Amino acid sequence: MLFKQMLNFSVTVVLFLFLLTSPAWSAGHDLAHIRESGVLRHLGVPYAHFVIDSETGLDVEIMRGFAAYLGVEYQFVKSDWNYLLADLTGRRVKPIGSSVRELGAARIRGDIIASGLTVLKWRQKIVNYSVPTFPTQVWGIARADFPADSVWSGSDGEDILAVKSLLSGRRVMGKDGTCLDPALYGIDGIHAEVFNFPGSLNDIAPAVIRGDADIALLDVPDTLVALEKWPDKLKVLGPLSPKQVMGAAFRKDSPELLNAFNAYFRGLQKSGQYRRLVEKYYPPVFGYFHNFFEQQR
């Protein structure tokens, strides 16, 4: 019996070490490895206009260009928000405020995340971000017939307080584990029925239109897409967060890949190609974040 237990333990250890050192699990995937493999694996989630499908979307086009810049093939790897960071880092974590709790190991499936990923403190503990690639903010949205006017004084601080005052006594919907988590913005402490939306981020706006919630948290890119689809059915109440930025995400042990992307992205900005891509996928955003794009010229 003892011999059998020791044998099983030995087999388990050998299997673990094999997986840990195999290409699929190893964290050693910096720039030299990618050039040697000849493939850049882009992790993304179909979301807003960042990733429409494996061929189109703002981040898909940027990543295709980055692969060409490196002289390797491009491969899109579809993920979802629950596993996206684990697919990059090989670590499953659960956010707790601005910290994270380790849940276990995972299989590494990609080299870089580019999917409209907002920079959050808890995410920065497990990945490194590129230079900012897109501006964003969390807004409160409601049906067009919601009995309150939009709040836009020009002062984010005052506007956030004004919008939060509209939440009292309302059914407020967010999305745990994402930039739409109400706990990130102090909304869970407001006298309101705050709950987690169980579906995809792309389905939050339709859920509001159906009346599943009075108010929902939604970021700028997804809101702009929703307003384009349903211009007469939704209302933006105003901001629930300060202005934020998005960026591409890299493993902590991929500094050369990160530096290469930053150099490539700055070249896109300087050439005007980045602005043309944004005009293609998010034409209204310039009216909301003029300063962000002017600073990038």
Question: Which domain CATH number covers 162?
Answer: 3.40.190.10
Residue 278 is assigned to a structural domain of this protein: yes
Reported as a pLDDT band with limits 50, 70 and 90, residue 152 is: confident
Instruction: Indicate if 236 and 145 belong to the same structural domain.
Output: yes
Note whether 222 and 148 are same-domain residues. yes
Task: Determine, yes or no, domain membership for 3.
Answer: no
- Mean pLDDT in residue range 241-270: 97
Place of tokens 């689809």: 229
Work out the angle at residue 188's Cα, subtended by the Cα atoms of residues 201 and 159, and round it to the nearest 5 degrees: 80
Residue 13 lies in a domain: no
Q: pLDDT band for position 297 (50/70/90)?
A: low
The 10s digit of each residue's pLDDT in 26-59 is: 445 799 999 999 999 999 999 999 999 999 999 9
What average pLDDT is seen over the chain? Answer: 89
Asked whether residue 204 is domain-assigned, the answer is: yes
**CA 197 and chain centroid, separation:** 16
Q: Do 114 and 253 belong to one domain?
A: yes
**Other Cβ atoms closer than 10 A to 28:** 12
- Specify whether 127 is located in the same domain as 250: yes
DSSP alpha helices (H): ranges in 232-281? 255-271, 273-281
The answer on 152 and 124 residing in a single domain is: no
Residue of higher predicted confidence among 2 and 56: 56
- For helices 58-70 and 255-271, what crossing angle results, to 10°? 110
pLDDT digit string (tens) for 185-213?
A: 999 778 889 999 999 999 999 999 999 99
Band (pLDDT 50/70/90 cuts) for residue 155 is confident
Q: What's residue 28's pLDDT?
A: 56
In-domain check, residue 282 = yes
Q: Are residues 129 and 250 in the same domain?
A: yes
| Residue-number span of the structural domain to which 168 is assigned | 138-242
CB 293 within 8 A of CB 286: yes
Tell me, yes or no, whether 131 and 265 share the same domain.
yes
Comparing C-alpha atoms, which of 37, 53, 55 is closest to residue 45?
53
pLDDT of 18 > 70? The answer is: no
Number of structural domains in the chain: 2
219 found inside a domain: yes
Residue where one domain finishes, among candidates 218, 242, 266: 242
Residues 64, 125, single domain; the answer is yes
Give this prediction's pTM.
Answer: 0.86
Nearest-angstrom CA–CA distance, 53 and 58: 10
- 130 and 145 share a domain? no
- Whether residue 131 sits in one domain with residue 146: no
Q: Is residue 17 part of a domain?
A: no
In a domain, 86, yes or no: yes
User: Does one domain contain both 182 and 97?
Assistant: no
